[in-house]
Amino acid sequence: MLLRRPRAELAPFVEHLWYLDQPLPPGRDRTLPTGAAQLVVNLAADRLNWYDGDDLSRPGGVGGAGLCAPLARPIGVDTADQAATAGVVFRPGGVVAFGDVPAAALTDPVTPLADLWGADGGAVRERVLVAATPGERLDALERVLLARLRAAGLPGPDGAVVYAVAALDRGAAVGVVAERIGASASTLQRRFRAAVGLSPKQFGRVRRLQRVLRAVTTPGGPAPDWAEVAARHGYFDQAHLVNDFRALTGLTPGRYVPRSAAEHNHVPLG
């Protein structure tokens, strides 16, 4: 997998770009929530598929370029649909800089780019496909984003939302964050949800989950002591961690076996 940091102009809104062109073990993966939106282009077929529902068996799909919404639940994907793909991981709240659709309106797991960006979105897959090398394909994605960002003419990210994202990512309480930015709880809720796509509380839970996943997937590390993990990451007790883990992933901690330590958000479906 090729990972690349964005150009400076995009960096306030984009975490990184990525390109994958390698065979993966056949089957389906449970993909876990991260709190960030992601643009994905399937280079092998003009289709993005997913599986939703309690048992991740209900199929859905759109054309080959789409925006994956920030969710607080898992989604199923077929590894065959990931083997030749390119994409963009946005910073939480960053995706709204490239279109006038609030992130809170992204209620489906994947929304076609053509529905969000019109003709620009409909042409993204073709622009990426005509490039010759992985690096040039990521260049093509960057050019699309730069053109949209410049057309929008935004001065920069919402500073209050940026602060809230960073504070919640560190584990701050929602009430404390609202107080520090001088906003009511309802105002923070409205601004944050419009930009990020999740409520502040949902986002804080998802980002705490991500801290836990990184902590327990250290290569070569011992089996997790879940009681100690719960205490270290601010859960009331181990039962609280288990309940939150299950609500966000559909798994108990003991059943969490990722594809690899480097792919801790992909769990093969047995």
36-80 tens-digit pLDDT: 999 999 999 999 999 999 999 999 999 999 999 999 999 999 988
43 is in which domain, residue-wise?
A: 2-152
User: Mean pLDDT in runs of 10 for the chain (270 residues)?
Assistant: 94 96 88 96 94 94 95 93 92 91 87 92 95 96 95 86 96 95 93 95 98 86 88 95 97 92 88
Do 97 and 225 lie in a common domain? no
Do 44 and 67 lie in a common domain? yes
Q: How many CB atoms neighbour CB 262 within 10 A?
A: 10
Do 118 and 8 lie in a common domain? yes
Q: Which of 43, 93, 92, 88 is nearest to 67 (CA)?
A: 88
What 3 state SS string does 117-144 have? HCHHHHCHHHHHHCCCCHHHHHHHHHHH
Q: Give the total number of structural domains in the chain.
A: 2
| Boundary of a domain, candidates 122, 152, 182 | 152
Measured CA to CA, the distance from residue 13 to residue 161 in angstroms comes to 12
Do 261 and 146 lie in a common domain? no
Decide the pairing of beta strands 38-42 and 84-90: antiparallel
Measured CA to CA, the distance from residue 230 to residue 176 in angstroms comes to 22
Do 106 and 10 lie in a common domain? yes
CATH number of domain containing 263: 1.10.10.60
Do 98 and 214 lie in a common domain? no
Do 18 and 146 lie in a common domain? yes
CA terminus-to-terminus distance, the chain: 24
Give the dihedral sign, CA 4/211/164/98: positive
Is 112 strand, coil or helix?
strand
| Boundary of a domain, candidates 152, 169, 198 | 152
Task: Give me the pLDDT at residue 223, please.
Answer: 83
pLDDT digits (tens, 9 = 90+) for 162-184: 999 999 999 999 999 999 999 99
Measured CA to CA, the distance from residue 243 to residue 205 in angstroms comes to 12
Do 79 and 33 lie in a common domain? yes
Do 10 and 131 lie in a common domain? yes
Q: Which of 78, 62, 83, 63 is nearest to 27 (CA)?
A: 78
Do 177 and 57 lie in a common domain? no
| Boundary of a domain, candidates 102, 126, 152 | 152
**φ and ψ of 94, to 5 deg:** -75, -25
Question: What distances in angstroms separate CA 252 from CA 197, 205, 238, one per listed residue?
Answer: 25, 16, 11
Do 206 and 115 lie in a common domain? no
Is 74 strand, coil or helix?
coil
Task: Give me the pLDDT at residue 25, please.
Answer: 81
Measured CA to CA, the distance from residue 121 to residue 144 in angstroms comes to 9
Measured CA to CA, the distance from residue 161 to residue 93 in angstroms comes to 7
**φ and ψ of 121, to 5 deg:** -65, -40
Task: Give me the pLDDT at residue 159, please.
Answer: 92
Do 82 and 133 lie in a common domain? yes
